[in-house]
Structure 1
Amino acid sequence: MSELKKTSMFGGAAIVLVVLALLTTPRRAEPDAFFDVGQTFFVDQDGSGFTDPNSATTLEVVEFDEDTAAAATFRVTNRNGLWTIPSHHDYPADGEERLANTAAGIIAITKDDFRSENVTDHESFGVIDPLDEGVSTLRGRGRRVTFKGASEQVLADLIIGDPVEGRPGYRFVRVPDQSRVYAARTDIGLSTQFNDWIETNLLGVERDDVKRVELNEYQVDERSGGVRRGGQFTVDWVERDTWTADDLPSGMEVDYVQMNLLVGGLMGLEIVGVRPKPEGLTGNLRQAFEARTVTQADLQTMQSRGFYPTQSGEMLSNEGELLVRTDLGVLYTLRFGEILYGSGNAIAIGDDTSDDEDTGAGENRYVLITAEFDADALPESPQPANRDFENKPEGQWTDADRENKEASDLHSQWERRTEDGRQRAEELSTRFASWYYVVSAGSYNRVHKTRDELLKAIEDEEPAEPPVQ
């Protein structure tokens, strides 16, 4: 064979090997696939789009529960200037600042890394739309986050999937109706916990506001309808870390530490769920019975939750009552009802079984709360004997004029405080009127106390040091 033929053969073989190598070597993604890496999702290149977090008036989060094979929706919205949680019986929300912060986090998300545009990869990335009924798999469904503005126009819509391995703070994300999947940093502080979106100090009290606490201890026997009375116990504030009570057992005193813990429990009463009251039970019970607006179904619902209205318009509850009076004369009554087992939405909003289960984890408690003004808390100060001082220069006042001026000032102060107390009680009464509250077991245990738990033995004073000889 000639050298020329040998060279031609080797050259041809080399070409074949090169072609085979090109055909069998794994291909990298085409550069065009990365055309939008680094861009934001909802702000356009010209600066238009979703740029103002305060323009968002609705947040909707949909999550998929693999155990129940159902999607659950959490929604917060501003309706006519009032923030509510439609997914939770339209309960009032304290959501404006939190929603704006979450919206700002969504606006800032960028397409940090392109990962795939193959639909078959969506399950492994956890970015299947939780609302997609055309997909049979229960796994791999993400959390869909939607922001809307006025007139319900969609400002942002994103599916947030599984964490990216080896990259803390990153998750796989996808825009619904698009196949492309990205890795993105998602530090948006998103919460769908009911108690993260409501007023945390439900009663609106501060530690120094509480001046009297009264325990009304009794239990209702659900089978016989009888009431086992345990007595009443009233504790009054004296000064910092000092409380007093009448009829204290010999050698006992009020334990100020336990009182401080109880007041702290009132300030941080943890609401984990709500149920709307029937229309006829949102106002005065006595008037409701007289007007015959209370139905048998209403009564059965109340009793199932541990509350027993009487024909006289009073209300009894399974585990007694706690009465709390403030320095403005606002008198709160907390009535403790039935245990409610469960967690999550079964507790937060209720379902077909949550009110009927009598075993399980999570011993929550139904509580009814009312507020009224107690005039006895603010005794009227004496009025001035006359107002002659009003017609004299201060330099011509007699001692009697000065006494009358002081009495007038004190009476005006009493009038202002009384009006403030009445208004505050009315506001709170309106806030509480429409709801059964569900509090956590821990919160219930902090505010539901017996007399013995609030007392302690008087500690002997240390003997004085003997005089030095």
Structure 2
Amino acid sequence: MREKIVTLVFLVIAVGLAITAALVQPESTTHNLFDDQGQDFYPSFTDPLACKALEVVAYDEATATARPFKVEFRNRRWSLPSHFNYPADAQERLAKTAAALMDLKKESVRSDSVADHTSLGVIDPLDQKATSLTGRGKRVTLRDDKGGVLADFVLGKPVEGKAGYRYIRVPGQKRTYAVKTEADPSVSFEDWIETDLLKLTAPEIRKITVNSYSINEQLGQLDNVERTVLTKDKDKWTVSGRAAKKATLDAVTAALDTLRIVNVQPKPPALTQDLRAQEGIQLSVDSIMSLRQKGFFVTPTGQLLSNEGELIVETDKGLIYTLRFGEVAPGTPGAAADDKTAERRYLFITVSYNDDRASLYNDGDPSKVRVTGNRLARELSHRFADWYYVISGADFTKLRPRSKDL
């Protein structure tokens, strides 16, 4: 009898525990799932100006490759380490990006399952263990001046049915949130640099010389040589004694006014030094090889030629720009084989100030522009000496008009 009573007691206790577990467990699970909802992602990150570096990694599903990009403040200037430390125009843009990411809150928990990362687009693009080629997000990391992490996110897909929301995950954590944010840092080089490359405007341009030719590297000669000179007087362009075609000239001058670069390659230090010294290019082995690889050649007399011709532009400030067009640059986006506008090109730019041209374009009085022209020529020459620029195929086409179109 006593054994039956003991058994009954244990049975009652077991049933009670089972009921308690059934009642308590869902509450505990629910509590864990929403325990951080509404909190800041990085509560200690309170000053957007503390951000001194931005790292962004996007993922190209077509090529299954990660595309890293970085901008940082170092040696008292903003630069792009991902692009040979090219100078960046980044302070205002980075501050806005940092402020937008600093204020993010964990508004709505959407999943605690790794299995959902693909559909939500929050797989870390740097995760080499992940096997999926789809569903990878954009990794965004903000750092302070000592390299410490201020904030780190994987930005995923937009949330369906909720405008302005997207899925976000903290790298290394399973949980994914739906967060309201417009933050989407660009990995495009041209979005982070000074956009006014030539520092000129279309109305300033007074003369354009189109030297069209190609270099036959096998025979060592120029082919298809053609020279066209266009001049402007009282806002009217002429060529060979007749009025030039307005649409073509408008396209050329607008392209010069708004010329933007899409990438850069550094010149060898010796070549940069020669260009800054303005005493002619010394034919060092490094300089010769570098120039040839980009489509530029120095003749025995010291003349610099390019395998796709050149454009010489004169402005009313007395500046003379020479734009030399070289080889097709790598990294050209995929396009149809016959679409030449998709071919990015290397561009070699030099500039100088000429007092005679300044006098010609300023009623015989170059003093109006001499100081400004000289200063701008020095500033631009110093900048241009460092880099081979890369321009889009569309700009290349506009800047090499055919004579029949002028």
TM-score range, shorter chain: 0.7 to 0.9
Q: Which of 311, 330, 337 is the equivalent residue of 1:322? A: 311
Show the counterpart of 1:202.
Answer: 197
Q: Note if contact 1:161-1:171 (Cα within 8 Å) is conserved in structure 2.
A: yes
Aligned residue in 2 for 1:190: 185
When the two structures are superposed, what TM-score results if normalisation uses the length of structure 2? Answer: 0.84
Distance 1:312 1:447, change over 3 A: same
**In 2 relative to 1, CA 263–160 (structure 1 residues): closer, same or farther, beyond 3 Å?**
same
1:423-442 paired onto structure 2 within 5 Å: 423-442=375-394
1:444 is paired with a residue whose SS is: helix
Task: Say whether residues 1:451 and 2:398 are aligned partners.
Answer: no
The equivalences for 1:39-438 within 5 A come to 39-42=39-42, 44=43, 49-228=44-223, 230-240=225-235, 242-245=236-239, 247-248=240-241, 252-284=242-274, 287=279, 290=282, 294-295=284-285, 297-340=286-329, 342-343=331-332, 362-379=342-359, 414-415=366-367, 417-438=369-390
C-alpha distance in 1 between matches for 2:330 and 2:106:
43
CA shift for structure 1 position 200: 1.7
Q: Secondary structure at the match of 2:99?
A: helix
Residues 206-240 of structure 1: CA deviation (Å, up to 9, x unaligned): 12221221112222113212112533222222123
Structure 1 position 136, deviation (Å): 4.1
Distance 1:72 1:341 in 2: 15
- The 1-side partners of 2:252 and 2:126 are apart by 45
Stretches of structure 2 lacking an aligned partner (at least 5 in a row): 1-14
Q: Which residue of 2 aligns with 1:37?
A: 37
Q: Deviations over 1:53-101 (max 9, x none)?
A: 2222211001234455443310011112221111011111111111111
- C-alpha distance in 2 between matches for 1:148 and 1:75: 11
Conserved 8 A contact 2:341-2:397? no
- Distance change >3 Å, CA 257–CA 67, structure 1 → 2: closer
Q: Deviations over 1:254-296 (max 9, x none)?
A: 2233222211011122311111111222244685655x5x21x
Deviations 1:349-392 (A, max 9, x none): xxxxxxxx9999931111111111122212399xxxxxxxxxxx
Contact 1:341 1:360 in 2 (8 A): no
Task: Read off the aligned partner of 1:306 and give its amino acid letter.
Answer: G
- For 1:438, give the aligned amino acid: V
Counterpart of 2:98 in 1: which secondary structure?
Answer: helix
- What's the counterpart of residue 11 of structure 1? none
Instruction: Tell me if the contact between 1:341 and 1:359 (Cα under 8 Å) persists in the aligned partners.
Output: no
Secondary structure at the counterpart of residue 83 of structure 1: strand
Letter in 1 for 2:379: E
Q: Secondary structure at the match of 2:329?
A: strand
- CA change 1:233–1:358 in 2 (3 A) is closer
8 Å contact from structure 1 (residues 281, 288) kept in 2: no
> What is the CA distance between 1:32 and its match in structure 2?
3.9
Give the distance between the partners of 1:118 and 1:362, measured in 2 at CA.
42
CA distance in 2: counterparts of 1:445 and 1:81, whole angstroms: 38
Distance 1:231 1:64 in 2: 45
Q: Is the 8 A contact 1:57 1:148 kept in 2?
A: yes
d(CA) in 2 for partners of 1:38, 1:158: 17
Local SS of the residue matching 2:89: coil
Give the SS at the match of 1:178.
coil
Contact 1:147 1:155 in 2 (8 A): yes
Q: Which amino acid aligns with 2:238?
A: T
Distance, in Å, in 1 between the alignment partners of 2:338 and 2:350 is: 27
Corresponding residue for 1:8?
A: none
SS of the residue aligned with 1:30? helix
Confirm or deny: 8 A CA contact 1:280 1:288 kept in the other structure: no
Q: Which amino acid aligns with 1:154?
A: V
Deviations for 1:176-221, whole angstroms, at most 9, x for unmatched residues? Answer: 2332211112201421111111122211111222122111222211
Count the aligned residue pairs.
386
Larger mean CA deviation between 434-443 and 298-307 belongs to: 298-307
Corresponding position of 2:12: none
Q: Which has the larger displacement, 372-381 or 269-278?
A: 372-381
Q: Secondary structure at the match of 2:203?
A: helix
Residue 10 of structure 2 aligns with which residue? none
Q: Report the alpha carbon displacement of residue 333 of structure 1 after superposing the two structures with TM.
A: 0.5
- Aligned to 2:320, the other structure's residue is in SS state strand
Tell me how large the CA RMSD over aligned residues is.
3.3
The verdict on how the C-alpha distance between 1:234 and 1:28 changes in structure 2, with shifts beyond 3 A counting, is farther
Task: Tell whether the 8 Å contact from 2:215 to 2:306 is kept in structure 1 after alignment.
Answer: yes
CA 1:217–1:67: 2 relative to 1, 3 Å: closer
Structure 1 unaligned residues grouped into runs of 5+:
1-14, 347-356, 382-409, 455-469
**Contact 1:170–1:186 (Cα < 8 Å) also in 2:** yes
